[in-house]
Structure formats: structure tokens, C-alpha cells
Copies of this chain bind each other. A is one copy, B any other.
Amino acid sequence: MSEPCPLTESREGKAVIRHCDLKSYTNSRGFVDPAWAPVFYNPRMKCSRDLSTVILSAYVKLSARKEVSVIDVMSGTGVRGIRYALEVPGVSQVILNDVDPKAALLARENVALNGVTDVVKVFSKEAHEILASTKAEVVDLDPFGTPAPFIHPALRAVRHGGLLCATATDLPPLLGIYPSACIRKYFSKALEAEFSREQAVRVLLYFIAREAAKLGRVIRPFYSYYLDHHIRVCVIVEKKERSGFLEENLGIILYNPKTLERQLVVLSQASEICGGRLAGGGWVVGGPVWIGELWASEASQEISREYMARQAELNLCRKGLSVATKIDQERDKPPLYYTTEKVASTYKLAEERSARQLVDQLALKGYPSSLTHFDEKGFRTTANVADILEAWQAR
């Protein structure tokens, strides 16, 4: 068959993937965007795929399912789904789909190359169309940009108790840099704040929770992370209407950039708080966002353990292990992390402490505290701002 581009091969986990040779698309300044190649393959997302295979393995194990089917509706070279078939025990069927027939053709070639033709089928339809006519335990959305338009059909395609994973690479809206675009896509007002990466995850989860409620479904976060300029969330989807589901898990962010005080408030209390403490004082309001947990504790434990176990054999990225390990420490700590950088600049502190030092100091004083994978200068703590400043000064 005729190839869509000059090809090369890369090894990822247990897979060998034939993909467009990005060297052929480098511009005169030596830069290349993977989107310039006829079939999309981004080598810089390998680490995210490493983590994704471990997350899916944890889901299969914890859900105690014998057989799991997976749909990847924007599959490009097919790398993600082929790795699922090769590296995740229990994956019995993978449906790959790419609206571009060139991509579907290359994905089929990769499926054959990796010997998984029995398990992996490749289609070339419009994403909404394949989602409207297919059901699976796991739906994986890995779009270029926002996943927002695909959440609705993806939720419908997930079987009861199944898993929906979605990547978002449209960080300028989600981080509050383009708030108007965030309102348009996610209908949430994202603040510019030092915790904006966590906020981005909470905005996406809020959006998914809303889409789910509309369709008579509820979600429970299974795993969420920020890595290399994208966020990714995986949620359990259940077909049931639970009264109070949105009221309990959605809320607003109260943030005072002058003092760094912050708080998540359930929606029902938002209007009362409005009249009282917000009057004056420089508070700003963000959201709505998901205010519930970002990680299932059993998922977090299993993923950090399993990532470590597989890392050497499959040559999984080191950064993925750091993410999984930090998440397992931060998962039960308070929402909306601080950063040492912001504390120092806001309170005109001469010397910046490392987040690690500060966490140790706060723990010593009896405040449960941790680092966060969201930001290397970030930390979570039950201490309030005054306590943080006191710990900062301590030696």
C-alpha cells in the first residue's frame, strides 16, 4: 500500500509503532509540530501513554472484570490502543477509530505489525458517529485540543461501571489565561492562580459531571493528573440518577490573591457566602468546579505500586513514576495547593524555601501536608496562611 508519509519506527512499552518521520516536516528554523505530519504521532506524549496503560491496568484489576473492551475514537497511528492490547491484561477488544482514512490505514498496519489483529479493530468514521453506535467498558478520548464536544457521546458509549478517560491540551482556557474561551467550552470561570493546574482538572471534572447528570449518569473520579502541558482525567461512569450528586460535588472557588486565602464552597452555600464575607477584602470567585476527590484511594495506591513494578521492564518514563508517587501522597490532603513562589512574592519574603522543606516543617508542627504533582513548587497543607508564614520563618 502507498504510505501517507516517510515512515520511521519507535518502540513504546511492548509496542513497535510505525509513524511519520517528523524530521521530514521540520521547518526552516528547525522546529516541528507533530500536527504538521499527515498522521498524528506525538513522541512527547509517550510518558502520558505509559501512565495511561498503568491506569487502565489498575481499573481492570480493581473492577474485577474478566474482559474489558476499549474504544479510542481519535486513534492516529493506533499507538495508545495497541499498547492497551499488549500491556493491559484483560483487554479483550480494542476499537480504534480515526476520521482520516490515511490514519486508519496506518493504524491497521501497526495492528498487524504488533500481532494484535484478533483484538484490535480499526474504523474510519466521524467520532460522534462511532460513539453513537458502540458500547464499551472503557472510552478513551485523546483529542487535539478540548475534549468538551465529545464528552456527551463518550458518556453514552461507556457501559455501566465503566471508565471514561479524557485528555485536554487546551490549557490556556483551562488555566484561566483565556477565561472567555473557558466559559464558552466548559461554562466555568477559571481564575489565574498558582493552583490553576488543579483548577483545570476540577473544571474538566465539573464539566463531565454536568454532562453525565444530563444523561442520567453519575461519575466518580478514578485518577487525574497534569503532565507535560496537558491534563487527563479518568472517571467511573454509572447509569443512575442520584439526587444531590451535583449539589454535593460541585462548588465554587473563593480566592483572595492579596492574602492567598482560598476555599472550595458547595454551590448551595455560594449565594449566602456572597452577601457576607465577600463584601470587600479582595476575594474573587471562580467556577463552578468539581469540589470532590480527584483520585480514588485504591486506584492511587495500585497505580503507584504497579508503575514501579513495570517501569524497568517496559522502559516507562521516570516522570510518570514521580507523578504517581506524589499523587499517592497528596490524594488525601486539602484541595487548592499553595506554591512557595507565590507565598514568597505575595508576602515579600526575602528567601524562598523549598516546598520539601516547608512540607517537613509543617508536618513537624502537626499539619498533614504534602508535595503535589501539579507543580514542583507546590504544596498542600491543612495549615492556614498564618501557620504557613510561621513555618516559613522557622529554622
A contact residues vs B (CB 8 Å cutoff): 126, 128-129, 131-133, 148-149, 152-153, 156, 180, 183-187, 210, 213-216, 241, 243-247, 271, 274-275, 278-280, 285
Contacts and interface: CB of A to CB of B under 8 A. Distances in A.
Given A183-B213, A186-B214, 12 more contacts: A126-B132, A128-B153, A129-B132, A149-B215, A152-B153, A180-B244, A183-B246, A183-B247, A184-B245, A185-B213, A187-B246, A275-B275
A208 to B, nearest CB: 12
Contact of A129 (B133, B185, B285): B133
A153 B133 CA distance: 13
A129 B183 CA distance: 28
B156 A184 contact: no
A247 B132 contact: no
A132 B149 contact: no
A213 B187 contact: yes
Contacts of A187: 210, 213-214, 246
Given A156-B128, A275-B274, A285-B271, A247 B214 contact: no
Nearest to A209: B187
A270 B255 CA distance: 17
A129 B60 CA distance: 29
24 contacts: A126-B133, A128-B153, A132-B153, A149-B214, A149-B215, A152-B153, A180-B243, A180-B244, A180-B247, A184-B213, A184-B214, A184-B243, A184-B245, A187-B213, A187-B214, A187-B246, A271-B274, A271-B278, A274-B274, A274-B275, A275-B275, A275-B279, A275-B280, A279-B279
A246 B182 CA distance: 11
Contacts of A128: 132, 153, 156
A150 to B, nearest CB: 10
Between A184, A215, A285, the greatest number of chain B beta carbons within 10 A of the residue's beta carbon is seen for A184
Contacts of A246: 183-184, 187
A186 B184 CA distance: 16
Nearest to A242: B184
Contact of A241 (B133, B184, B186, B278): B184
Contacts of A280: 275
Nearest to A152: B152
A267 to B, nearest CB: 8
Contacts of A245: 184
Contacts of A149: 214-216
A143 to B, nearest CB: 13
A208 B152 CA distance: 14
A102 B148 CA distance: 36
Contacts of A278: 271, 274-275
Nearest to A284: B271
A131 B245 CA distance: 29
Between A247, A275, A285, the greatest number of chain B beta carbons within 10 A of the residue's beta carbon is seen for A275
A285 B275 CA distance: 12
Contacts of A241: 184
A243 B216 CA distance: 31
A213 B126 CA distance: 20
A265 to B, nearest CB: 13
A361 to B, nearest CB: 36
Nearest to A131: B132
Contacts of A244: 180
